[in-house]
Structure 1
Amino acid sequence: MLTTAELRWFYPGKLPEGVLQWFEQDQLGLASAEEREDIYLYVPESDFVGIKLRQGRLEIKWRKAELGDLQFGKVIGKAEKWTKWLCEDSSNECFQPNEVTGKFWVSVKKKRTQHTYKSLADQLISVNVGDENEEGCNVELTELEVSSNVWWSLAFEAYSKSDRTLENLKETASRILQNYHHRQLEAKDSYAYPHWLSLVIK
């Protein structure tokens, strides 16, 4: 089980070139993009639970709390606290996307670039994605496609073993966003995947 504090924004259309260039700056130290397809279960009128199949694994996320608006200069986002459970089947007899049917299962193609930072003293330290770190924050830029419907998303996902989850989120977002001068990131566009799904499958 993993508990995180998160900020996410979603926008329709192709990823703006200016946002991509900003995200690829040397100071962000980004890893190469990952392409995959996730299968989400759409739960109508529910913004607090997310269920998906990801690479043969079932993932369930539950929103534990809404943490209010956070502002970083002109950027405003809605922070939320989430808990994630991972279910894996070593026999590969369950959790197969081709066995999922019904109008409430939604295929989402993703091209995601992610990097992880650790806040240390007055600076951010870049750490390897996937390393075992007790304190940190993932920063993600993702291109999304659902039935030829294209979106993009920017997200911060912080974690902590010492009850500093929200502090890690604030410190990382504050430093990363201080030189963001592109499409305005507003609170009305800040939400998690369950709410985004309700917009794209209408």
Structure 2
Amino acid sequence: MHTSAEIRWFWPSTLPEGLFDWFCHPSPEAHAPGGGQCKTHCYLRDNTQAELGMKYRPGKPEVEVKGLVERTWARLNAEPFAGPVELWSKWTSQRLHLQEQPLIALEKRRWLRLFTTSASTVVELALNADEGLQNPCSVWPTRGCTIELTELRLDGTLVGWTLGLEAFGTLAELPHQLHSLAQHLAAHHPPAFGDAIQGSYPVWLQQFA
């Protein structure tokens, strides 16, 4: 089981002006984000609830199940990274199959940045195009935070963008880690989020169900 503290925003069409450039180059000392490749995630189509998400990735043997534990578990106040934080748990299973169920095939192009927050300062680790560590001798941290920016398409048509922060590690450390990253990012003058809608993937996907 993987437990994470998350906060996420969606935009229905275009990003706020300057947000993409800020994400890629917030400061001279920042690393360029990893990722940027287009991947398809097939989500179970379910408009009856927004607390459980199930998906698989074509070519992968496992199904990912992600469940909401607490919707207002903590709160961030570092504008524009402000709002209630959700606590989620995730499991994977190779015995579940979704291929015969109604699905939403979402095409995602994601850029990712990784930070360690275990020390007194926030430190960014460089990632490659596969979202792995750029330094082959490094090991993925057991606790830290990521920030992702993702372009979302259905049948090749742009349907939105999302920006999300996620802290991982021990349950007791998650609020501090997410708060530290939010303050670190806010200090580098991000643009305002404008008409962003805060929520989770299950909530956002209901519009297509």
Bin of the TM-score, shorter chain as denominator length: 0.7 to 0.9
What is the identity, as a one-letter code, of the residue corresponding to 2:68?
R
**C-alpha distance in structure 1 between counterparts of 2:192 and 2:153, whole Å:** 20
The code of the aligned residue for 1:118 comes to T
Q: Residue 117 of structure 2: SS of its match in structure 1?
A: strand
Tell me the equivalent position of 1:144: 152
- Check 1:185–1:8 CA distance in 2 against 1; reply closer, same or farther (3 A cut): farther
1:47 aligned counterpart, secondary structure = coil
Distance 1:121 1:178, change over 3 A: same
Q: Matched residues in 2 for 1:85 and 1:18: separation?
A: 36
Q: Deviations over 1:85-131 (max 9, x none)?
A: 01247xxxx85x8xx255x3101000001121011444211235544
Share of identical aligned residues, percent? 26
User: Is this contact kept in 2: 1:8–1:78, CA < 8 A?
Assistant: no
SS of 1:182's equivalent? coil
Q: What's 2:121 paired with?
A: 123
1:84 aligns with 2:90: yes
1:71 deviates by: 1.8
| Deviation at residue 161 of structure 1 after TM alignment | 3.2
Secondary structure at the residue paired with 2:172? coil
Aligned to 1:11: 11
Q: Which moved more, 1:111-120 or 1:157-166?
A: 157-166
1:42 aligns with 2:40: no
Q: 1:109 aligns with which of 107, 110, 121?
A: 107
Matched, 1:157 2:145: no
> Which consecutive segments of 4 or more residues in structure 1 shift more than 4 A?
none
Partner residue in 2 for 1:189: 197
Q: Structure 2 CA distance, aligned partners of 1:38 and 1:139?
A: 19
The gaps in structure 1 that reach 5 residues or longer are: none
Q: Go from structure 1 to structure 2 and tell me whether the alpha carbon gap of 1:42 and 1:20 turns closer, same or farther (over 3 Å shift).
A: same
* 1:47 Cα offset (Å): 1.6
Classify 1:181/1:193 alpha carbon distance in 2 versus 1 (closer, same or farther; 3 Å): same
Q: TM-score, with normalisation over the residues of structure 1?
A: 0.83
Higher mean displacement: 166-175 or 105-114: 166-175
Structure 1 range deviating more: 130-139 or 67-76: 67-76
The whole-number CA distance in structure 2 between the counterparts of 1:4 and 1:185 is 26
Of 179, 184, 188, the residue aligned with 2:188 is 179
Please identify, of 153-162 and 133-142, the stretch whose mean Cα deviation from structure 2 is larger: 153-162
Query: Is residue 11–residue 197 contact of structure 2 (8 Å, CA) maintained in 1?
Result: yes
Q: Give the structure with the higher percent helix.
A: 1
1:9–1:185 Cα contact (<8 Å) kept: no
